A and B are shown apart, each in its own frame.
Chain A
């Protein structure tokens, strides 16, 4: 018994030593979207600052918000998308940024910061990481075979039931992100995309109900591969995801040609942003990390890798010409002016929205 007690004490003592040693090591816990950074950036950051990065990933805003609202998430830097960010700021999830620790803020792109201010008044809580659009990704040959030689530049391609019917056999996917899909549909039928009226939401839902019999899947991640390997031929999707599908198809050499288009009616513009939870334990390290990501060379590297535009104007000289000149990544000004943002949904509106969305998905 004595021996056992002694060994137990030894174990406890070692644990104490180990954990105190760990406390001295500087770390930052980062929670970002999956496949959303060039991992060498993390290693470079550790090399330069001595701060270790514990990197964790997610694939849905809903999941992040639920973790943050439960409290004690343990993360120091989180990357929520704008409408979610606004609600989370309201709920008191984040702390104000200490701008004296973020000298690289001078590199930011005023246009993006301005639009982000709609969600974060005064840009007090968040720094934009990447932004992009939600458009149409399609398989060039299969869509041509189904619809004939028509220009693919409008939501009509998908939202007109006669077109959707022709595309049915080659596979239609609708992005499973109700807040964005409704805004797009309301904009398409000439209503305010930011409307929260039940009647407008239902009218938006009717756009999808009309094409529901022709839709094969509703997902927000598997569609990348499905487009790339030809399982589906058209999808509402995020710009960078579809460009990834394009790259994957080229790499696979399977003859599938994927293209992305921002429809002429305009579409949804979203922002993924860096923010620090109120209960973060490593606040200084979190600031250091965010500041590092605002270095033009660093964020340019991230953009080259993920093929999304960033909110850093100074970085543009370091970005690959091919990425910077791609109108799907950095749309020309005329297109940017057509992009819209939406404010967050309140609890009741969210319920109406998801209820209609469930009806659409279950086909009831």
Chain B
């Protein structure tokens, strides 16, 4: 890449600053190599047909000589199929619902945590941040498995409730393999991703604003809604996006904690890919998922720019 940069110095930055040019180019190369290129491959597979072969779809790109033939075999059949069977629409909607509820729960739990951390004495803040990050030292998969041990009917939760007498010896907690277990697992796993951006937004806040409000007779709760919350909005948006997007496509948590009737697009995708061995349809499902998540973000960002 360095050679290319040297050979074509960007005229407006001046010949001496090819390093600056490099700084701009590297992220784009990264983006093209690791996002655009894989996406185009997935897009191509989504226009293909399944086949019993290696790889399990057709046509396969065989050089530029047969390129006309190659393109003529691509079609929208898989996308049409997605609209014909309500399974896919239900899966998308159900995933969005679970992601939306989870994100809301994360905000409700994460915000007070972040606020408390930001208001804590400066000396103990690094320790608090450390405590939030600490669970990452253990594998994500193991932490989700641990929840099985807690939530299953004869698990730790039942035992604890029976011990303190809130539950009779014959009663058992019926949470495992329901949507509730999925919510618990998701909120637990994603909490750090919500708390950290909120904390960094709240920590930067100028406390003199709150003092001024208080001096002028504004009650604390009103000061919170008028000052603290609006100023933390970038953190709220960043945290919500970082959580909402991966939760929508979540597979591991619903698979391990959810019931057979927990419908999420990640599980549907798994069945298409592994159960039906239908890579083209699985790719189409993935492309739609991506569009569903990326387009609203782009619209949102455009609007933000206009506002600023």
A interface with B by C-beta (< 8 Å) = 60, 62-63, 65-66, 68-71, 87, 90-93, 178, 217-218, 231, 347, 350-351, 354-355, 358-359, 361-364
Contacts and interface: CB of A to CB of B under 8 A. Distances in A.
Interface in B249-268: 260-261, 263, 268
B260 A92 contact: no
Given A63-B274, A351-B276, A361-B260, A91 B153 contact: no
B260 A217 contact: yes
Contact of A231 (B52, B153, B271): B153
Contacts of B261: 361-364
Contacts, number: 64
Given A71-B54, A231-B154, 19 more contacts: A65-B274, A65-B277, A66-B274, A66-B277, A69-B56, A91-B54, A91-B56, A92-B54, A93-B54, A217-B177, A218-B260, A347-B50, A347-B277, A350-B275, A351-B276, A358-B271, A363-B261, A364-B90, A364-B261
Most A Cβ at <10 Å: residue of B56, B177, B263: B56
B278 interface: yes
A355 B177 contact: no
Nearest to A277: B54
Most B Cβ at <10 Å: residue of A71, A92, A361, A362: A362
Nearest to B85: A355
B286 to A, nearest CB: 15
Contacts of B39: none
Interface in B261-304: 261, 263, 268, 271, 273-278
Contacts of A91: 52-54, 56
B11 interface: no
B227 interface: no
A249 to B, nearest CB: 15
Most A Cβ at <10 Å: residue of B55, B154, B274: B274
B153 A358 contact: no
A93 B276 CA distance: 18
Interface of B: 50, 52-56, 85, 87, 90, 152-154, 177, 260-261, 263, 268, 271, 273-278
Contact of A70 (B52, B54, B152): B54
B88 to A, nearest CB: 11
Contacts of A87: 52
A198 to B, nearest CB: 14
Contacts of A359: 87
A362 B260 contact: yes
B239 to A, nearest CB: 31
List 8 tightest A-B contacts by C-beta distance, closest first: A62-B274, A361-B260, A69-B56, A362-B261, A91-B52, A71-B54, A218-B260, A363-B261
A69 B55 contact: yes
Most B Cβ at <10 Å: residue of A65, A69, A93: A69
Given A69-B55, A91-B52, A362 B263 contact: yes
Contacts of A354: 271, 275-276
Nearest to A174: B260
Contact of A92 (B53, B153, B278): B53
Contact of B278 (A218, A231, A347): A347
Contact of B276 (A60, A71, A347, A364): A347
B150 to A, nearest CB: 16
B6 to A, nearest CB: 20
Contacts of A358: 87, 268, 271
Nearest to B154: A231
Contacts of A218: 260
A354 B273 CA distance: 12
Nearest to B177: A217
Nearest to B81: A351
A178 B275 contact: yes
Given A66-B273, A90-B52, A358-B271, A351 B278 contact: yes
A212 to B, nearest CB: 9
Nearest to B53: A91
B256 to A, nearest CB: 10
A63 B273 CA distance: 9
Nearest to A360: B260
B91 to A, nearest CB: 10
A178 B152 CA distance: 26
A7 to B, nearest CB: 23
B208 to A, nearest CB: 51
A62 B87 CA distance: 21
A12 B90 CA distance: 54
A247 to B, nearest CB: 21
Most B Cβ at <10 Å: residue of A66, A92, A359: A66
A60 B274 contact: yes
A189 B274 CA distance: 29
A350 B260 contact: no
17 contacts: A60-B274, A65-B274, A69-B53, A69-B55, A70-B54, A91-B53, A91-B54, A93-B54, A231-B152, A231-B154, A347-B50, A350-B275, A350-B276, A355-B85, A361-B260, A362-B261, A364-B90
Contacts of B153: 231
A91 B54 CA distance: 6
A217 B55 CA distance: 34
Contacts of B260: 217-218, 361-363
Contacts of B273: 66
Nearest to B54: A71
A355 B276 CA distance: 9
Nearest to A68: B54
A193 B44 CA distance: 37
A218 B258 CA distance: 12
Contacts of B276: 347, 350-351, 354
Nearest to B50: A347
A90 B277 CA distance: 14
B30 to A, nearest CB: 25
A362 B85 CA distance: 15
A217 B50 CA distance: 31
Contact of A71 (B50, B55, B278): B55
Contacts of A347: 50, 52, 276-278
